[in-house]
Amino acid sequence: MSRLLSAACGCTALLMHTVAFAQSGDVPDWVYGDGELPEKWSVTNEAYGACDAGAMQSPIDLAETNARGDISLSASYGVAEGKLKLGPRKVQVDVGPGMGMISGERLYSLLQMHFHTPAEHVLHDKRYPLVVHLVHGSQKGHFAVLGVAFEEGEANPALQPIIDAMEANRSAFEFDVAKLVPDDLSVYRYMGSLTTPPCTEGVNWHVADNVLTASPEQIAMFVSRLGNSNRSLQPVNNRLVVGPEG
């Protein structure tokens, strides 16, 4: 699997599409609201029309799951060299080729991961205090995201190198991506969008049913950097939202 993932990351089209996920260090022309009311980002920039007019937007309340099934998903993650990118309401870690996941029959290479406080999707009738979104891309320019929420509990060893890099203002560090993902990767799956402008649709969303822990101090560090960084919930409309069996 890792050999295929390396090959997928060499695609020029994939790198071009990645720009939609990776904001520059400049101040963006949009801001988060209170996480409850609609943000109306298209008022700021008409190029963000999908944010307000799109029918397949994210995040959603996963209590609106309307089907159950055995979702085909396999992942391959491990120790990686991370490149930290910080900005307004942004903590992002870019990684090199070699890791990713297969959803259905499509191969997605892991490109980067970023964090939100609180979590954007409602899972188990709550928004957890922290979530990581692992952003993947295919060789043909399709995108998939795996979201993993964290609740207060024991410290997570994979988060600490990221926090240490933030505190030291260090861009490069090593960490274990696998420890940011539950061992039992049962997920909710639906077709959605980016949760920030331009809110591009056609993103294959996966949200882990199992929640990991992070210490109160670890969560507080992300909150201090990100503040309120969650988008309001979007209507499901007529989409298929598949949840794990049982």
- HEC secondary structure over the chain: CHHHHHHHCCCHHHHHHHCCCCCCCCCCCCCCCCCCCCCCHHHHCHHHHHHHHCCCCCCCEHHHCCEEECCCEEEECCEEEEEEEEECCEEEEEECCCCEEEECCEEEEEEEEEEECCCCCEECCECCCEEEEEEEECCCCCEEEEEEEEEECCCCCCHHHHHHHHHHCCCEEEEEHHHHCCCCCCEEEEEEECCCCCCCEEEEEEEECCCEEECHHHHHHHHHHHCCCCCCCCCCCCCCCEEECC
What's the confidence (pLDDT) of residue 104?
87
Residues 63-73 have a mean pLDDT of 92
pLDDT of 18 higher than 60 = no
What's the confidence (pLDDT) of residue 173?
97
Residues 57-81 have a mean pLDDT of 95
Sequence spans of domains, the chain: 2-244
What's the confidence (pLDDT) of residue 23?
42
Confidence of residue 26 (pLDDT cuts 50, 70, 90): low
Full-model pTM: 0.91
pLDDT of 20 higher than 80 = no
Can you name the CATH fold of 2-244? Answer: Carbonic Anhydrase II (3.10.200)
